[in-house]
Chains A and B, each alone.
Chain A
Amino acid sequence: MADKQASGSFLRLMSEESQASDLIIVFCDDHQETILDQGRCQGAPRRSLGGYSEDEDAWYPTRRWDRNVPLRNLPVSMQEKRDIRDRRNLQRRTIGCWESWRRSQRTVRRRMLEQMVQALSALQLWGRTLHSIEGRFGVSVKVYFVFLRYLVYLNLFNCLLTGALIQAPVFIFRNNIYSSTFKENDSYLDFFLGTGFLERSPVFYGFYTRGSLDGKCLNTPILFLLGVFSVLIFSLVMLVRRTVNGYKHKWMLSGRYNFSMSFKVFCSWDFCIHEPKSAAFKQSNIRNDLKMDLEEERFELLKSQRTLKVRVKIYFLRILLNTVVVILLGAAFCLIYIGTKYSHQQKDSKNYPWLYSLLLQYLPPIIITLVNFMLPHIFRVIVKFEDYSFTSQVNITLVRCIFLKLACLALFLFFLYDTLQKSPQNNQSCWENQFGKEMYKLLVFDLLATFTDTFFIMLPKKLLSEMYPECFLLKVMGRQKFLIQLNVLDLVYTQTVTWVGLFYCPMLTQICVCKLFAIFYIKKFAVQRCCKPTQRMFRASTSSVLFHFVLLLGLLMAFVVLGINLNKLKPSPTCGPFLGSSTVFNVTTMCVDSLPVHVGDFIKFMSSEAFAVPLIVVEILFLTSSMSLRSANNKCIERLKDMLVTCSSDKWYLVKQQAAWLQDQRSPQQSSSRAGSVEGSAPPEPRAHLDFHPLPERSVSQPCDTEPVPTHSRPPWNES
């Protein structure tokens, strides 16, 4: 009855019954309808599903009699909604007042909730802009802006945390009065270098002193630590939540339910498109997308047919090109090392003109930005020679770019740490301020680079292409595209720098919020004015799950850097809230010691190995049980899927039996010639059919009015 067809690592049953001949299918369909819709007369309108009587199975699960379903969610026409409403009103009169009060409360609550949700979603930042961007450029560009908005919300909340825990106590309990006046040596360059005026302001670590809040456990240093760690932990929780949700939807489900083609057919049209140009554009997008899918299938087919010689050649080429990539990365890292060293050495010499010394100070950020600007384009060119399918090309380039970005930052931080550790601690008037200044410079330069890129590179290119459309140079450079992945990586970079530098530059979250606002408007201008929507849709990695995951990597890097710095570097003795302590955690040890004995002992126990090892063992147990539960559920799902197929083929089998029997009923004289062609195992079943379904007799007898109604109930072929 059914044969198995291998798909993936599981076998799926394929029903053989459904591949029966068309004639029987048409006949079966007619009869299936007459069987299934009893009360329906021939000329009834197709659309009103209310024609079905209430006890029957319509083709969609009916929920009309579920009183909790609001009327407007029912898929029936207005007239039927009125009927149902009257019926419900009638019922309302027959139930007690307690029950009706409860129901009305439920509806009131539901309506209030709906209105609240709508109001909140209307209040979301930049709603209309995103809507219009989506309309012109498609969903993938909107993903970037939605990610940006999410980062803005995250940073706003972090601002609240730092404001409450770090800045407010220092301002309230400050010993000396803070005056934000310009002194003689200050200049506007201070905003770029972080010296002078800015160095004395709350932007950097040095501003925060112990002040008058000096309890054993409630003092400014502890609040400072608490603020920084709460920001990091809050960000960790939010990111993990989002990544896990996305992972669940994207990877776990798509392994089992791979609906990519169905989604493209059914879900790709945007029903909000009004203009003919957008419609034509969307249609060509869809067409290109489908063509790319088919192209990839062809590529896979070709790939499986490669000979050994070709394969060896391709692997050799790939190894060569990967070596080239590694060499390029190594060169970039060397450049960064040289830049950092040189900039640090020349830091103190005052003989140079101001522009040169400014450039020297900014040398590491300049190198990092240049490297991150040029290498991705080189990677995109290299990957074309490695003979991968288009989706793999995009993925591989993305992985390389992510590695480049995070590794550059990590190496820069490592060199910085190295420099700070090696130089004698006395000379550093406040090494934390130094570190904070580097992070601040990274952020500022990134903003400047974005601004320059949009207004001095993309805008002139666009204006030129409008004025001289046939220019050869422009044709070589290609049309301007909004590269989503690279822009998202820039956002991740910004956020990572914010997290890393938060301890040494506590106002970095506020600066980051301002920067993200500026980036939004700059990029909005870039997209709307300078870029044209691309004909080819972005593949694979526009999913926001990947971006959240990369952000998580950045956060982990921040944790690691902070951990190493706090453990290995001694707080400087001249500035900051921790002056005088040998390590930052002295304040926490003092606080724990001041607590009652039992509480202190309990806390000490929790941070010792005796607690950590059993905790790890318990976690491993949980993991193992979840994994075995998961594999058991997998097996269950496969069995249920097979059951679906068998049930459906059973249904078809019975319908065919029915149809054959009914056809025999209609034309009894032909039955003897057809006796052998019906299913071999037929004889006992038709009688059972009679017992189960007396109804078909009634519905079929209508068209058979002209023929004599069979007077016997036994199937004709039993006679022979």
Chain B
Amino acid sequence: MGNKQTIFTEEQLDAYQVRYSNTFIAAKVNILQSQLHGRYHELAPHLVPMDYTNNPDVKLPLALIINMPELKENPFRNRIVESFSEDGLGNISFNDFVDMFSVLSETAPRELKAIYAFKIYDFNTDNFICKEDLEKTLNKLTREELTPEEVNLVCEKAIEEADMDGDNKLCFTDFENMISRAPDFLR
């Protein structure tokens, strides 16, 4: 950015315990803060103030966030933004924005990612991944290029594999159990 004016107070910088996202070299926290603020500001320059020292309450709508280059090609972008927003509809404040980048970065711990992944895949937000959620996931993943019977077969098989307590839905414990055994080819 190059501008010398302070965007955040020291206290705010302390409060944002952000992780380093996708960089190989650890950057200083306040540089990353300015970068993230710059990105947030770019999305809606007329809405987002440059100076955050008095904690303004600004929320950006879903439509602006999902056009960011990192999210544009992601089939789950709507769900991602919704699960990080406080009202569940996709209106993101700067806090939520930082949160989102923080969790999606490389260095976030696996348990945290598993929790948010569960929220993302839970389309009807009933704290279970049921068959309809799975079907929606699969359709988004393959751009609806599989026939309905194939979708049905795959979803049934996935639930049969991962469901541990026999209720035909995946609760968070089932999901976490399955994710923790995902193969890491490159260990």
- Residues on A lying within 8 angstroms of B by beta carbon are 2, 12-15, 18-19, 29, 45-48, 59-60, 70-75, 77-79, 81-82, 85, 114-115, 118-119, 122, 127-128, 139-140, 142-143, 146, 245-246, 249-250, 253, 257-269, 271-276, 278-279, 283-284, 286-287, 290-291, 293-294, 297, 542-544, 641, 644-645, 647-649, 652
Contacts and interface: CB of A to CB of B under 8 A. Distances in A.
B125 A46 contact: yes
A266 B70 contact: no
From A71, A258, A641, A644, name the one whose CB has the most chain B CB atoms within 10 angstroms.
Answer: A644
Contact of A75 (B15, B86, B116, B182): B116
Interface in B137-182: 137-138, 141-143, 145-146, 150, 153-155, 157-158, 161-162, 164-168, 171-172, 175, 177-179, 181-182
Contacts of A287: 142-143, 145-146
Contacts, number: 189
Contact of A48 (B20, B70, B86, B157): B86
A122 B186 CA distance: 16
A75 B158 CA distance: 26
B126 A29 contact: yes
B102 interface: yes
A297 B179 CA distance: 24
Contacts of B137: 265-266
B43 to A, nearest CB: 17
B26 interface: yes
B67 interface: no
Contacts of B178: 257, 259, 262-263, 266
Contacts of B118: 60
19 contacts: A2-B166, A45-B87, A60-B172, A75-B116, A77-B86, A81-B17, A143-B186, A259-B181, A261-B158, A262-B162, A266-B158, A269-B75, A274-B72, A279-B73, A283-B75, A283-B145, A286-B141, A287-B143, A649-B167
B86 A15 contact: no
A592 B155 CA distance: 68
A274 B69 contact: yes
B161 A258 contact: yes
Interface of B: 15-20, 22, 24-26, 69-70, 72-76, 83-88, 95-96, 98-99, 102-104, 107-109, 111-112, 115-119, 121, 125-127, 134, 137-138, 141-143, 145-146, 150, 153-155, 157-158, 161-162, 164-168, 171-172, 175, 177-179, 181-187
B16 A78 contact: yes
A269 B76 contact: yes
B112 to A, nearest CB: 5
Contacts of A283: 75, 141-143, 145
Contacts of B138: 265
B161 to A, nearest CB: 5
Interchain residue pairs A-B with the least CB separation, the first 7: A648-B165, A78-B95, A15-B166, A279-B73, A645-B166, A18-B167, A46-B88
From B18, B115, B171, B175, name the one whose CB has the most chain A CB atoms within 10 angstroms.
Answer: B115
Contacts of B162: 259, 262
Given A47-B85, A265-B154, A274 B73 contact: yes
B121 A266 contact: yes
A652 B169 CA distance: 13
B182 to A, nearest CB: 5
A2 B98 CA distance: 47
Contact of A652 (B70, B107, B141, B167): B167
A78 B15 contact: yes
Contacts of A290: 142, 146, 150, 154
B75 to A, nearest CB: 7
Contact of B168 (A19, A79, A115, A268): A19
Contacts of A293: 154
From A258, A275, A294, name the one whose CB has the most chain B CB atoms within 10 angstroms.
Answer: A294
Nearest to B25: A122
Nearest to A293: B154
Given A13-B166, A250-B183, A544-B187, 8 more contacts: A12-B166, A47-B86, A118-B107, A261-B158, A263-B182, A279-B73, A297-B153, A641-B164
Contacts of B116: 75
Contact of B166 (A46, A60, A122, A644): A644
B115 A75 contact: yes
B114 to A, nearest CB: 9
A128 B25 CA distance: 12
Given A14-B166, A77-B95, A59 B171 contact: yes
B26 A261 contact: no
Contacts of A294: 150, 153-154
Contacts of A258: 161
Contacts of B161: 258-262
B85 to A, nearest CB: 7
A193 B77 CA distance: 61
B54 to A, nearest CB: 16
Nearest to A269: B141
B74 to A, nearest CB: 6
Nearest to B151: A290
A261 B118 CA distance: 17
B86 A291 contact: no
Contacts of B75: 269, 283
A645 B165 CA distance: 4
Contact of A644 (B127, B153, B157, B165): B165
A78 B168 contact: no
B179 A267 contact: yes
Nearest to A114: B107
Contacts of B125: 46
Contacts of A12: 166
Contact of B74 (A19, A60, A85, A271): A271
Contacts of A75: 103, 112, 115-116
Contact of B26 (A115, A257, A279, A543): A115
From A60, A85, A272, name the one whose CB has the most chain B CB atoms within 10 angstroms.
Answer: A60
Contacts of A273: 73-74
A664 to B, nearest CB: 25
